[in-house]
Chain A
Amino acid sequence: MKKSALVFSLIISTVILLSSYSLFKKEQVKDSDKVLDILVELGYKKPLHYKPYSSLDKDKIQKGKELVTIGYTTDQNGNKTKIQSKHFLCTDCHNVKQEDPDLRYSNPDTRLHYVAKHDIKFLPATTLYGIVNRETWYNDDYQKKYGSLVTPAKDTLINAIHLCAVQCSQGRELEKWEMDAVVEYFLSIGFNVSDLNLTEQEKEKIGNALKSNSKQTEAIDIIKSKYIDYSPATFLDPIPKDKRELGKNGNADNGKLIFELSCLTCHNEEGVTNYKLNKSTLTFQHLKFWANTNKHYSIYEITRKGTYAMIGYNAFMPNYTLERLRHQQLEDLMAYINLKNEN
């Protein structure tokens, strides 16, 4: 009898312990979870381009990646597709990795050092990493450049991709299956929970909201506070000639990074443009000679104004916005040019 009572007590204790664990267990989201999946599960509005990460097709992702990074892929019959643009690859202007250390800010100063550390480029357009987490595209001053073309692209990723393919890269329209593949690739490089720098407490709150279907708004707010869901774009006029410091207070080390990670991306010997730059004396003398002019050889002018596509040679230089290149960074670049002229 005593033995039976003991076994019964043990069973009861085990049940109570397990129940307690279940009740008070800390629910956390996983670092590898996709932010967009969590938001949708929390009841946040579902974007038009949304598909759950678990439903993505590996083959489509690969095809999308190829279109973005090498400009072509293979169709359903295994045949190579026509190149999307003979002038640009998406990756000539966009990174496909995280480029800002803190996703809450679009800061070219911190970005420059972050991209240098992670061996990626310092480019004029925003990264495609996390582009599915944005809610608007072609923001702010892009209206000045593309006019009404940005209207359908502002709130729909697919339209933004289309605009970029046809106007920015001067290429052909994507076929529907190609667009699907590109979107799947972008969804695969959407933000992960690990990118948001959440505290343990915040992870628990989100985890619990997912489990209990309560406090979902708070969880959504936490997530949304961790990144900017649009890419600000402020166009600037070139610094007037009499206001240019010509590198006087510039940081040549930063300038070297800008020259290598930005200028030489397109202006290297095999780059997209015929206007070649390198680390020769001739290049640095040339850049210094033209710097304080209003000509397009001036770094102050060309970075803010860019160029336009011309018939027959459509590769053009996009303008750098305030959020992609600060005036001070141009002075840093000029300081590096001065330094190379002295050597």
Chain B
Amino acid sequence: MKTNTLMIYKKHILVISFLFGFIALKSQDAEPVYHTFNSTRVINAHSTETLWKKELDFRVGHRFGDIAGAAGGVQSAFGLDNSSDISIGFEYGLTNDLDIGLTRYKGAGPYTQLFEGYAKYKFIRQTSKTPVSLVGIAKVYTTGMNASTDSTSANYFTEYAHRMSYAYQLILARKFSERFSFQIMPTYVHRNFVAFDDANDRIAMGAGFRFQVTKLIGVIGEYHYVLKDDGLAMSEQLKDPIGLGIEFNTGGHVFQVNFTNSRGFSEVQYISATTSDITDGEYRLGFTISRIFKL
């Protein structure tokens, strides 16, 4: 499963350049549409929202253990005793359309001690004349976990490039009304090094929505259909990540409570490594707090 390091970097630089080589299509004299989503995330996935220039978003997230199933139930206080993943990160608006971010995850799935850096650019903003918003995201991950001596393991890292993973996503969203927004998000994840019988590349088609019940409370949901018909053993264990949540917007911050079968936050985890089956009670409570500071 090893790949030539130089080739890996070239490939991803090319993809990033392609994404950010877009010429932003800006409609002149059109009324912009704001708040397609309340936050820069739906649940795990990004939304088309970007931060205002010079805003810093401090985000803390938590995913508990299984609510039901073998690891859940009363004994684990329905998963509250366990933490599948914890995230802490900062995101910053370089311009009104370009965000950068740095997050550290406890990590779930094959990679733990995961660091994520990303850039997110809004190519098109929905306006009175433009029906949709289009956002592109490029992410790079590295893991700080100890290398395994087992050559079939996902963390049998013999060189630094093996610790690297990447995710690219396009998000196409439309705010249909003041209450309802919908987005689709084709996603590509590449891991430089994976366990035996797993795939380096994963492609998924995601969808997310927001239904605003009141000015302050909204229902959010997302689902990713992951392509996994490649005959590999790991692919057969994969499940499509799905989540449903409620968000509270208090003006200064957005508080999200959600239920999802994915154990990790990041694309490299929830697209490539969700094996929890919601029908077996393997879904969990999670929350994210976002606090925005003006720098």
Contacts and interface: CB of A to CB of B under 8 A. Distances in A.
Contacts of B47: none
Given A282-B212, A282-B215, A275 B178 contact: no
A314 B294 contact: yes
A86 B214 contact: no
A273 B251 contact: yes
A286 interface: yes
A282 B294 contact: no
B292 A282 contact: no
B291 interface: yes
Contacts of A285: 214-215
Q: How large is the interface on A (under 10, 10 to 19, 20 to 34, 35 or more residues)?
A: 10 to 19
Nearest to B35: A276
Given A274-B251, A275-B251, A313-B252, A282 B35 contact: no
A285 B294 CA distance: 29
B60 to A, nearest CB: 14
A242 to B, nearest CB: 25
Contact of A269 (B35, B212, B214, B251): B35
Contact of A313 (B34, B35, B212, B293): B293
Interface string B234-261: 0000000000000000011000000000
B2 interface: no
A86 B215 CA distance: 27
A269 B96 CA distance: 13
Nearest to A310: B252
B54 interface: yes
B214 A276 contact: no
A287 to B, nearest CB: 8
Contact of B214 (A275, A286, A315): A286
A269 B179 contact: no
Q: How large is the interface on B (under 10, 10 to 19, 20 to 34, 35 or more residues)?
A: 10 to 19
Contacts of A282: 178-179, 212, 214-215
Given A86-B54, A86-B295, A269-B34, A286 B251 contact: no
Interface string B202-219: 000000000010111000
A289 interface: yes
- Among B214, B216, B294: residue with most chain A CB under 10 A: B294
Nearest to A312: B293
Given A269-B35, A282-B214, A312-B291, A274 B178 contact: no
A87 B212 CA distance: 28
A281 interface: yes
Contacts of B215: 282-283, 285-286
A88 to B, nearest CB: 11
B292 A281 contact: no
A276 B251 CA distance: 7
Contact of B292 (A269, A274, A276): A274
Contacts of B178: 280-282
Nearest to A267: B251
A285 B213 CA distance: 11
Interface in A79-95: 86-87
B32 to A, nearest CB: 8
Contacts of A273: 251
A274 B39 CA distance: 12
B97 to A, nearest CB: 14
A228 B246 CA distance: 53
Contacts of B54: 86
Nearest to A289: B214
- Among B212, B215, B251, B295: residue with most chain A CB under 10 A: B215
B52 to A, nearest CB: 8
A171 B212 CA distance: 35
Interface string B271-295: 0000000000000000000011111
Contacts of B34: 269, 276
A87 B251 contact: no
Interface in A303-343: 310, 312-315
Contacts of A275: 251-252
Contacts of A269: 32, 34-35
- Among B32, B34, B291, B295: residue with most chain A CB under 10 A: B34
Given A86-B54, A313-B292, 14 more contacts: A86-B294, A86-B295, A275-B252, A280-B178, A282-B179, A282-B214, A283-B215, A285-B214, A286-B216, A310-B252, A312-B294, A313-B252, A313-B294, A314-B294
Instruction: In the A-B complex, list the 8 residue pairs whose CB atoms are closest, starting with the nearest.
Output: A286-B215, A275-B251, A312-B293, A269-B34, A280-B178, A282-B215, A274-B251, A282-B178
21 contacts: A86-B54, A86-B294, A273-B251, A274-B251, A274-B252, A274-B292, A275-B251, A275-B252, A280-B178, A282-B212, A282-B214, A282-B215, A283-B215, A285-B215, A286-B214, A289-B214, A310-B252, A312-B291, A312-B294, A313-B252, A314-B294
